[in-house]
Structure 1
Amino acid sequence: MLVGEHLSLERDHHTILDDITLTLNDHEILGIIGPNGAGKSSLLSVFAGLVTPTKGDISLDNIALSKWSRRKLAKTIAFVEQQAEPHERIDVRHAIEIGRTPHKTLLSPWFPEDEEALQDALEKVNMKGFEKRLLNSLSGGEKQRIHIARALAQKPRILILDEPTNHLDIGCQLEILSLVRRLDLSVLIALHDLNHAAMFCDRIALLDHGRLISSGLPEDVLTKQTILTNFRANAEIDKLENGRLHIRYLLPPSLKG
C-alpha cells in the first residue's frame, strides 16, 4: 500500500538514507529499529511525504506520493512526531480539533461528523473527560495519548509514529503500544526498545548508517548476531508461549562481578 523504492536522502553532502526499498502492507505494524543515527526519523519523514528523497520513488495505492494533494495525503497518512509539543497553551479538545484540519476549509463550520471523529479519537485513547484540561498540565503518557488522538481525528488509513514511547515510564510505554496494536490501521513505527519491537510488530526493518540491513518477521531480524553487530550488545533470545520473542541482554565479560 505504501511503497518506497530505492530511497536515498542526502543533506549537506552527507548520506542519511542509502538505497532503501521497503513496503508497509495493509493493516500491519511495521517497526523501524536501529542504533542512534541510523536514519529512522528521516525514513519516517520520507514515508509521511514531509521530506522529498534525493533519489528513489515512494507511492501510495500505486500512485506517486508527489501526485497526491497535501489535503488528500493528510486525510490518508497521520504522523506523530517524536516529542511533539504545542507552542501555546491549549486544552485537550483544541489539540485534537487540529486533526480535523484536512477535512475543513477556512470558514467551514464544525459538523456532526467532526464531533464524532473527535469523540471517537478520545475514546480510542481512553481520554474521555479530559477535553477541558490544558495539554501542558498532563503527564507524559497522557500527552502522548492526546497526540495520537489528534492523529486519529484525521481519520487516516496509515499512522506513522516516531518513537512514541520515548521518555515515558515502562507502564506508559506498554499502554501506548497496546493502544497502537488495537487500532485498525496500517502502522509504521520507529522504536528504540528491541523487546517492544518484538512484542508489538508484525514485521521489523533494521537500519544502520542509513542502510536497510534486514527486514522480515521479528524472529528473522532480531538474532543474536544482528544485535551484536548493529547494537554492540550480547543477548540471549527466548521464544515465549505466545510466539513472541524476549531478548535478555548479557553483561560484557569486563563488567561481570
Structure 2
Amino acid sequence: MERLQKIIAQAGIASRRKAEELILEGKVKVDGEIITELGYKAKKNAQIEVNDKIIEKEDKVYFVLNKPKNVLSTVSDHKDRKTVVDLIDTKERIFPVGRLDYDTTGLIILTNDGEFSNEIIHPRYSIEKVYDVTIKGILKATEIQQLEKGIYLDNKKTLPAKVVIVNIDKNKKITNLQLTIKEGRNHQVKNMMKYFGHTVVKLNRRRLGTIDLKGLNIGEYRRLKPFEIKQLKRLANSNELIK
C-alpha cells in the first residue's frame, strides 16, 4: 500500500504537493469513493481517479537520449514537428524530464515516473547539469568570476556556476567552454552568456547528475540501469539534505 499523493505523483499527473491539494479538494476517488484524507494509503489493485479520469497503471521506464538539433523537448507538437518522444520506441506514455531548446543537442531523460521527474528538475534538489558551450567573443576572466559568484537574471540571482575554458580562437573571436550549473531556468545558459553580450552559437548538454552520454551517438538512446536511477535519486535527496 502507498500514500495516495505518491501514487498520483508517480503517474505524472501532478507534483506530490499538488496531489495533496487535489485530495483535499475532493477531486480524487479510490474505488469510486471520494478520499480527502492525506494519510490515506491505497491498495496496489485499487482503481484511482483524478478529476474523474482513471489512472492507468504502467511499469516505470527511464530512458536517456542524445537529442539531435531541431527536435522539440515536448510530448507532441501542433505543427507536427518531431519531438523527443518520437525518437523512443516504447508503448509507455513517456515525457521529457525538463527541456532542451529546439536547437540544443545532448542529454535528456524521458520517463513516465512523475515523482522521479520532479526530483530531477526541481530547483531544491540542485542536480548538476554540464554543458559544452560555444560563444561569439572572448569570455573574460572578470566575466568568469561573475558567473562563478552568480549573476542576476530577471531580478533573481543564479546559483554559482563552474566555468572551464576549453579553447579560445582569437582570430575567429570564439570561445569554447564547459559550463556547470545547478538550475534549469528557461534558456538559462543562453541568457547567462547574453548577460555579457555573447551569443551562443552551439550548445550541448553532456551530463546530468551522474548520467552522461557515453556510448550514445546523436539520436541514440538507452534505458537507464536500476543502479543509475538509484544514484540519481540518492543524489537529489542528498542535495536536499545539504540545504
Q: So what's the TM-score if we normalise by structure 1? A: 0.28
Larger radius of gyration: 2
Indicate the structure whose relative CO is greater, using CA pairs within 8 Å and at least 6 residues apart: 1
